[in-house]
């Protein structure tokens, strides 16, 4: 890859990395002053706890992006516009990943996920929550995730990682479909550890950090393999499909239990129903 393009990619990635890592110290200091989290967020408290992403990490992310959130609210930006910006960043990230700029692509993928968080927060803060907006957000989220995987498929088209990316893509879509189908049948399906926030955080960090590790493992490679990214994709592919299977099993058992609780009609009730179904003479 061209050295100037690599320098720009590395510089932008370093700025983003420095912003989020630099905020850890003041956030930790505020936590120590308050002897716990410096604020409480009802939406975060309502989320199911994840063993992969600690609650303090979610609070730190919300605290770090609070200036951008306040700016969007002050400028009266529509939540759907934020969702569209998230899709646009995913498209740029896909192009960067396909061309081998994993540092820039990884951080843009993370930023896309951050905008996905912000669109809901802006909608709640400005009283613009609506079923149509929720549908718009969910559909574009699927497209945004697909674009990032498409970039990885392009880069790893001649490697075995290509099939791992396909597995991750299948697992991530089945996780979303299982939950949507379960909720449509009246069963909450938010079980499993590898939900979308976990996938975005872990994959984005692995993609963004892959070039740094490749600098030591393959310093002279013209087209690096990016071992960290390949390993993360493989692990996430397995974990995502296990989560999808766990959701399916949970929803299926719940529906089977509901079926067993429905009483069978008695013989008299069946006869009465058959009699009432006959046309009048």
> C-alpha 162: how far from its chain's center?
20
Q: How confident is the model at residue 265 (pLDDT cuts 50, 70, 90)?
A: low
In the structure encoding, which two tokens stand for residue 213, read together? 């590790």
- C-alpha–C-alpha distance, residues 118 and 162, integer Å: 31
Provide the whole-model pTM: 0.83
Which pLDDT score is estimated for 276? 55
Which pLDDT score is estimated for 78? 92
To the nearest 10°, the Cα dihedral for 186, 187, 190, 193?
-160
Give all domains of the chain, ordered by start, each with its CATH number. Answer: 3-259 (1.20.120.1760)
3-state helix, strand, coil in the chain (%, to 5): 75, 0, 25
Which tens digit of pLDDT belongs to each residue from 163-203? 999 999 999 999 888 888 888 888 887 777 778 888 888 89
Q: Check pLDDT > 90 for residue 151.
A: yes
Q: How confident is the model at residue 39 (pLDDT cuts 50, 70, 90)?
A: confident
The residues, ordered by sequence, that sit 6+ positions from 13 with a Cβ below 8 Å of its Cβ are 103, 104, 106, 107, 208
Q: Check pLDDT > 80 for residue 47.
A: no
Average pLDDT over residues 80-86: 94
Which pLDDT score is estimated for 48? 72
CB 83 within 8 A of CB 119: yes
DSSP-derived letter for residue 16 is H
Backbone angles phi, psi at 20, to 5 degrees: -75, -35
């Amino acid at each position: 890859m061209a050295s100037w393009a690599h320098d720009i990619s590395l510089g932008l990635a370093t700025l983003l990395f420095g912003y989020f890592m630099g905020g850890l110290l003041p956030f930790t200091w505020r936590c120590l002053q308050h002897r716990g989290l410096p604020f409480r967020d009802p939406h975060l408290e309502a989320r199911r706890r994840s063993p992969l992403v600690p609650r303090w990490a979610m609070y730190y992310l919300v605290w770090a992006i609070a200036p951008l959130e306040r700016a969007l609210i002050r400028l009266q930006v529509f939540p759907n516009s934020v969702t569209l910006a998230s899709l646009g960043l995913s498209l740029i990230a896909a192009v960067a990943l396909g061309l081998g700029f994993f540092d820039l692509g990884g951080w843009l993928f993370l930023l896309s996920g951050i905008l996905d968080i912000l669109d809901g927060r802006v909608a709640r803060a400005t009283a613009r929550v609506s079923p149509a907006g929720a549908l718009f957000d969910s559909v574009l989220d699927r497209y945004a995730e697909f674009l990032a995987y498409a970039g990885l498929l392009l880069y790893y088209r001649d490697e075995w990682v290509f099939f791992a990316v396909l597995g991750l893509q299948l697992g991530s879509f089945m996780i979303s479909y299982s939950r949507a189908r379960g909720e449509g049948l009246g069963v909450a399906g938010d079980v499993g550890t590898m939900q979308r926030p976990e996938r975005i955080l872990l994959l984005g960090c692995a993609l963004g950090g892959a070039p740094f590790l490749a600098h030591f493992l393959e310093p002279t490679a013209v087209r690096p393999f990016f071992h960290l990214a390949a390993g993360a994709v493989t692990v996430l592919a397995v974990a995502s499909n296990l989560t999808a299977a766990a959701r399916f099993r949970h929803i299926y058992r719940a529906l089977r239990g509901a079926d067993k609780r429905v009483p069978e009609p008695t013989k008299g009730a069946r006869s009465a129903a058959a009699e009432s179904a006959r046309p009048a003479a």
